[in-house]
Copies of this chain bind each other. A is one copy, B any other.
Amino acid sequence: MKLITRNTDYALRALCFIAQCRGRVVSVSELALKLRVPQPFLRKILQVLNRKGILRSLKGQGGGFVLAKGPGKIFITDIMRVFQGKLRLNECFLKKLACPHRNSCRLRKKIIKIENYVLGELNSITLGSLLE
């Protein structure tokens, strides 16, 4: 029942660190060292963030990563979606066919309520709000 997986966690830590460097280009090796996180894994994560337009990368010597947008514009739900897919607490296991009660299912309704709250809260968290 974890909300945040390890790669999301690493990603957030890295983003925080990069944000605090205020535009300075940060290499994976520096990040891995500072965050004490496995370097090849972190590298893969940052490459994904680059592809998704959250980081911007600079190749070649002296290269590395910078934020692609302001910390106030990076929502942790963005990051979560990148690494964890659609954000749903719900997902009925027995699909329509097997579970004829799907629409009247009380549990489902309660979970949807919880889900709405959780998503609401998460949507209010930006990278910026983690740094203040």
Partner-B contacts on A (CB < 8 A): 1-4, 6, 9-10, 12-13, 35-37, 76, 80, 84, 87-94, 98, 106-107, 110-111, 113-115, 117-118, 121-122, 125, 129-132
Chain B's nearest CB lies how many Å from the CB of A58? 27
Copies of this chain in the oligomer:
2
The one of B1, B87, B90 that contacts A84, using a Cβ cutoff of 8 Å:
B1
In Å, the complex CA distance between A93 and B31 comes to 17
Most chain B Cβ neighbours within 10 Å, of A88, A93, A131: A93
B residues near A117, Cβ cutoff 8 Å = 114, 117-118, 121
Which residues of chain B are near A88, meaning CB under 8 Å? 1-2
